[in-house]
Structures are given as C-alpha cells and as structure tokens.
C-alpha cells in the first residue's frame, strides 16, 4: 500500500475520531499523519515520502506567494496613469525534462497573472511564454528558474 494512501486513511481516521469532516480538520489530520509517518519512517519502507510531501507543500506555498505578488504587479501596471507595457514572447530554456514537470511548470506560469505559457518546442527544451511586460527578459528567466522550476525539480528529482 502506498504511503500516500496510508496518509489519507490516517487523516480520515482522525476526522472520524474527532467527529468533524471539515476540510480544515481533514488537512490538519493529513499533516498530523504525515508527521507520524515521518517519525516511523524506518519501519514504513519509504523514507522519501514525507520529504516529497514537504517539497510539494513548499511548491504550493511558493506558487501562492508568487500569485499574490504577480497580481499586485499587474494591478499596479493596469492602474498606472501612464500605461507603458512592453509585451513579448520569452524563450525560456527548460531544465525540467519529464512531461509532468514541463506541464506543471507551464500551468503554474499560466496561472500566474501577467504570464501565459504559449508553446513547448518540439525537442522539449524551450518553453515559450507571453509576458505582459517583457522589459527584463533575463530577470524573468532567472525568477522562474530559481522559483518554480527549482522547486519542481526538487519534487520530481
């Protein structure tokens, strides 16, 4: 049985014991079960499960932070009295090589305000991104590489 399924079953058990199946209580039970599985990691047979779970949560947190910051940047651009946008297409060189990682990166970029994943090259080495303001291409590439892509490599690595 996979550790994720055990984690979910333990979270459901927590919700049943506490008598509340609310999303917040289930999430608390899930985290509590993950900690319990981490504590008994030698006996569970899969030591990387909890580490991967924390990396996924870190990726989700980084996405939420970037979502808020990007929304504020786009709002500032839209509300500025002098609209000085320089939209453009950025050719982003991919480090992620597997299909799931590329799809996840493309979706995270698309969900972030101000950017849209347009296409992936045939050799799957370049992701083309439309940016509302593409003045700092190198800065945008560095931000994606050190943010989303680094965390995706940690999750899938």
Lowest mean pLDDT among 19-23, 37-41, 87-91: 37-41
Domain boundaries, given as residue ranges, for the chain: 3-46, 49-156
Average pLDDT taken over every residue of the chain:
88
Task: Tell me the pLDDT tens digit for each residue of 58-98.
Answer: 999 999 999 999 999 999 888 888 877 889 999 999 999 99
Sheet holding 115-120, edge to edge: 88-93, 126-131, 115-120
Inform me whether the pLDDT recorded for 7 exceeds 70: yes
Helix (H) or strand (E) holding 109: helix 99-111
**What's the confidence (pLDDT) of residue 83?**
78
pLDDT cut 90: percent of the chain above it: 50
Lowest mean pLDDT among 28-42, 56-70, 113-127: 28-42
**What's the confidence (pLDDT) of residue 151?**
94
Across residues 147-152, what is the average pLDDT? 94
**What's the confidence (pLDDT) of residue 18?**
87
**What's the confidence (pLDDT) of residue 47?**
59
Query: What is the band of 26 on the pLDDT scale with cuts at 50, 70, 90?
Result: confident
d(CA 128, CA 79): 27
Q: What's the chain look like in SS3? A: CCHHHHHHHHHHHHHHHHCCCCHHHHHHHHHHHHHHHHHCHHHHCCCHHHHHHHHHHHHHHHHHHHHHHHHHHHHHHHHCCCCCCCCEEEEEECCCCCHHHHHHHHHHHHHCCCEEEEEECCCCCEEEEEECCCCCHHHHHHHHHHHHHHHHHHHHC
């Amino acid at each position: 049985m996979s550790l994720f399924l055990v984690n979910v079953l333990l979270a459901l058990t927590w919700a049943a014991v506490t008598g509340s199946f609310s999303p917040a209580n289930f999430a608390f039970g899930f985290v509590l079960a993950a900690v319990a599985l981490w504590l008994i990691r030698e006996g569970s047979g899969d030591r990387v499960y909890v580490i991967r779970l924390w990396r996924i949560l870190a990726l989700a947190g980084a996405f939420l932070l970037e979502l808020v910051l990007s929304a504020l940047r786009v709002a500032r651009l839209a509300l500025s009295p002098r609209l000085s946008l320089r939209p453009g297409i950025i050719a982003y060189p991919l480090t992620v090589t597997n299909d799931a990682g590329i799809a996840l990166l493309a979706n995270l970029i698309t969900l972030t305000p101000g950017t849209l994943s347009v296409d992936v090259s045939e050799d799957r080495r370049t992701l083309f991104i439309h940016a509302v303001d593409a003045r700092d291409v190198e800065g945008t590439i560095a931000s994606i590489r050190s943010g989303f892509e680094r965390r995706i490599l940690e999750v899938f690595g």
